[in-house]
A and B are shown apart, each in its own frame.
Chain A
Amino acid sequence: MVEVTNTKNTEIIGFACSFCTFKASEMAGSLRMKYPDGVKLIQVPCSSRVDPAFVIKAIFEGADGVFVAGCHPGDCHFIKGNYFTRRKMAALKEMFDVFSIKDKLRLFWVSAAEARRFVEKVTGMHNEIKEKKNAE
């Protein structure tokens, strides 16, 4: 029998808006800021492109956490795309709450200049989820 170990890496899938959060992640990289390797990004034109189905799919396929990140409210390149995202993710969170997986989904705003904020957010999320996973 293969021994089942709990050493699997904590995997976080992030949907990053290409105008703000993806830019911030590029900047974080070029400033050589460190964040956990489990955090992997998917570039989307706007956070509103994220279909709730993507989030569900990612969690079904084994992601330990999913985040959707975009521009700060009012700064959206597509005027109010992120307001739609906010509503959609709030609804999705309520649904996740029923299944007690509410903590797996995060929504946050990071502008193109906020490389440090990006690193803080993703590292915080990764560590919280990892702790929870290890406690189980």
Chain B
Amino acid sequence: MKTGIFICHCGHNIKHTIDVKKLSQYFKKYPGVTVAEDYPFVCSEPGQDMIRDSIEKQGLDRVLIASCTPSLHGELFKDLLKKSDLNPFLLRRVSIREHCSWVGDDLDINTEKARRLILAGLYSAAHYVPLEEKVVEVTKSALIVGGGVSGLSAAAFLSKMGMQVYLVEKEAELGGHVRALKDIWPARRDGKEIIDEMVEELTGKSNVEIFTSTTISAFEGFFGNYEVTLNTPKGEKKLTAGGVIVAAGFSPFDPRIKPELAYGKDKRIITTLDFERDSDSLSLPENPRIAILHCVGSRDEQIGKPYCSRVCCINALRVGDSIKEKYKDSYVESFYMDVRAHPRGGEEFFEDTQEKGVLFTRSNIAEIVPGSKGVLVRGEDTLFNEFFEREFDLVVLSIGMSPPVDNKLIATLFKITLDKDKFFLEAHIKLRPFDTAVKGIFIAGSCSGPKDIEESINHGRASAVKLYGFLNLGYAFVDPFISIVDPKRCSGCRMCEQACVAKAIKYDETKRIVHVEEAACMGCGLCNSTCPSSAVTLKGYADMIIDDEISALTEAI
């Protein structure tokens, strides 16, 4: 066995709390280890060259890279091995950054832990065998869940590139929340116009199918060939999609959760969304007194919404601005915590509204009490530490964004995860912001966190580009981590057959043993741990691999 160990300094990230020199010296003397090197950045060009050189000159047959976590740069190092004519499944990554140097501060303790982790990698890699990645054909079609701005922009891009697009919207009309908006800042355009323009791009295209009032009832298969069952008004429909973009949007925060705001009890207390939809029919006196509340349903730990919704400040400013435009002598007071006028030009717009005469009071609002003459707003001025009570003709609540109502359902359907605020979680916040943990399923728009319209459109297009890049190849590699059955050991007890969730294990009546259908196997390894005769083995996670890893970690070798 000729193993090469490459230990990354990751600049100061690893070197700071792990004695990498000591480790490489230690492993140089280890039996079976041909090369043990430490290097500032193994992922850099010269770092990669060093590994390639070692593989070629020393004839390495196992490569162990101790650096960041396996999900980062995993493909990069796999490609590196492929280029050096070494099977990419003879690579072992050991995470000594996320699992060691960043979780402890003591140099000696961390070095010892890293040594153990590398040892475990070394012992398990000894059992690695070359595996073949299977190539499967992929269907060049995309399922887009949600017909809001991000879903529509994703669909427009994919249809332009000639890909089959299935757009599914649960409402009867496309457009999501944007359709209801009358005057979108800063373009000052009707939301319906924008939606109509986007829908027009899609109508009449032969490669676009739009399903409205439709839900997804089942979702099966794997990357490239997902089997989708739709529940349309005309009945059930089955289709095959290569990939999915989830653009489920958001739900407006319901202020009824906070009863002290008295929303829904009096028609003089409205939300910014109500105001946008229907600002003309408000029966206001000649010189109205209007209160605007910021951060309703955002930055509120008590109701479990600690995040900033980004769009509500600008919505609140828009309300103040439009009232000032209509009623010159109105009294408009904005109650805020901080003003985070988020998109470009927001700060200038904030100054404009101040100049137009909107009064800004930093405060905590305790309660809103509708009375016969007006609505009473009680609160504390947090700049002067004073309590106040003021009467208004209208109270506008600037509501934030909540995750879509059916987020749990969608997450379970596509097997993607939710973050702590119950929005959809991206695979990596910086390196893979559009991907989910499931290959071929992307997220777009405000279902992955509050976003304004511009950002949602960008997010939708970006996800579409990523998906296009995946599907346009026409083929994909499937991880070879599937189970195999040793026919000599199989006793035909059929326990694995009962356990297999994917129904990939089939019993052969004549031979009285089982076999695995490769295409159906998901690679969970349940059969492997169920089999009483150790006849089933999950490639890449064989019993002896994990056994030796345990031994190395407990140092009982």
Contact = CB atoms under 8 A, between A and B. Distances in A.
A78 B523 CA distance: 9
Contact of B103 (A28, A52, A58, A78): A28
A35 B550 contact: no
Interface residues of B, number: 54
B525 A44 contact: yes
A113 B419 contact: yes
B291 interface: no
Contacts of B551: 57, 61
Interface in B494-541: 499, 501-502, 522-526, 528-530, 538, 541
B554 A61 contact: yes
B103 A13 contact: no
Given A42-B546, A78-B524, A112-B425, A51 B529 contact: yes
A45 B412 contact: no
By size class, the interface of chain A is 35 or more
Contact of B525 (A45, A57, A80): A45
Interface in A42-100: 42-46, 48-54, 57-58, 61-63, 74-81, 84, 88
Interface stretch (A18-26, A101-109, A127-135): A18-26
Contacts of B526: 46, 48-49, 78, 81, 84
Contacts, number: 140
Contact of A49 (B70, B541, B549): B541
B117 interface: yes
A37 to B, nearest CB: 5
B549 A26 contact: no
B181 interface: no
A112 B437 contact: yes
Contacts of B97: 29
B71 interface: yes
Nearest to B553: A40
B556 A61 contact: yes
A87 to B, nearest CB: 11
Interface in B393-422: 411-412, 415, 417-420
B14 to A, nearest CB: 11
Contacts of A114: 420
A5 interface: no
A7 interface: no
Contact of A29 (B99, B418, B547, B553): B99
Given A26-B71, A54-B546, A35 B113 contact: no
Contacts of B425: 112-113
A89 to B, nearest CB: 11
Nearest to B124: A42
A57 B526 CA distance: 18
A20 B550 CA distance: 21
Interface stretch (B104-112, B251-259, B266-274, B464-472): B104-112
Contacts of A75: 411-412, 415, 417
A51 to B, nearest CB: 4
B116 interface: yes
B360 interface: no
Contacts of A28: 98, 103
A79 B103 contact: no
Contact of B553 (A34, A42, A76): A42
A65 to B, nearest CB: 11
A25 B99 contact: yes
B69 interface: yes
A50 B524 contact: no
A90 to B, nearest CB: 15
A111 B418 CA distance: 9
Contacts of B110: 37
Most interface-central of A29, A33, A80 (chain B CB within 10 A): A29
A53 B544 CA distance: 11
Nearest to B481: A45
B24 interface: no
B517 to A, nearest CB: 16
A6 interface: no
Contacts of B120: 40, 42
A81 B529 CA distance: 11
Nearest to A39: B103
B550 A41 contact: no
A25 B554 contact: no
Nearest to A55: B550
A123 to B, nearest CB: 10
Given A45-B538, A54-B546, A62 B556 contact: yes
A13 B530 CA distance: 21
Contacts of B70: 43
Contacts of B71: 23, 26
Interface in B296-324: none
A54 to B, nearest CB: 6
A91 to B, nearest CB: 13
Contact of A81 (B100, B524, B550): B524
Contact of A26 (B98, B109, B525, B530): B98
14 contacts: A13-B553, A28-B98, A29-B102, A34-B104, A37-B109, A43-B70, A46-B526, A49-B526, A51-B528, A54-B550, A77-B415, A77-B438, A112-B417, A113-B417
Given A28-B98, A63-B553, 9 more contacts: A19-B437, A32-B102, A37-B106, A45-B481, A46-B525, A49-B528, A57-B550, A62-B555, A62-B556
Closest A-B pairs by Cβ, 5 of them: A29-B98, A49-B525, A61-B556, A78-B524, A51-B529
